[in-house]
């Protein structure tokens, strides 16, 4: 099976997805740093926030791994030439 060469559209697509991932990563990191669950006094709210932040941290790790993989792919794609 022959592998096709990536097009400029492929490069643009990967670049757009990297921007989306980077934005989500930044938002998640900012939320986690600005909302420490262990400072919540109400034990029910603290437990809910802990579960939410654990899930968010897990997602953050997955997004970071995806970002790294896509960045490596992006480096291997031909750069878009502007007319």
> What's the rounded Cα separation, in Å, for the pair 68 and 83?
29
pLDDT at residue 83, rounded to an integer: 43
Over residues 29-65, the pLDDT tens digits come to 999 999 999 999 999 999 999 999 999 999 999 999 9
Over residues 28-39, the pLDDT tens digits come to 999 999 999 999
Is pLDDT at 12 greater than 80 in this prediction? yes
Q: CA distances (Å), 7 to each of 16, 50, 71, 72, in order?
A: 14, 44, 16, 16
Regarding predicted confidence, which is higher, 83 or 45?
45
């Amino acid at each position: 099976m022959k592998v096709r060469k990536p097009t400029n559209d492929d490069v643009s697509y990967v670049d757009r997805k990297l921007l989306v991932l980077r934005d989500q990563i930044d938002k998640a990191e900012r939320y986690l740093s600005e909302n420490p669950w262990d400072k919540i006094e109400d034990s029910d709210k603290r437990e809910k926030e802990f579960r939410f932040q654990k899930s968010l941290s897990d997602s953050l790790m997955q997004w970071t791994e995806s970002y790294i993989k896509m960045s490596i792919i992006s480096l291997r794609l031909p750069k878009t030439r502007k007319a």
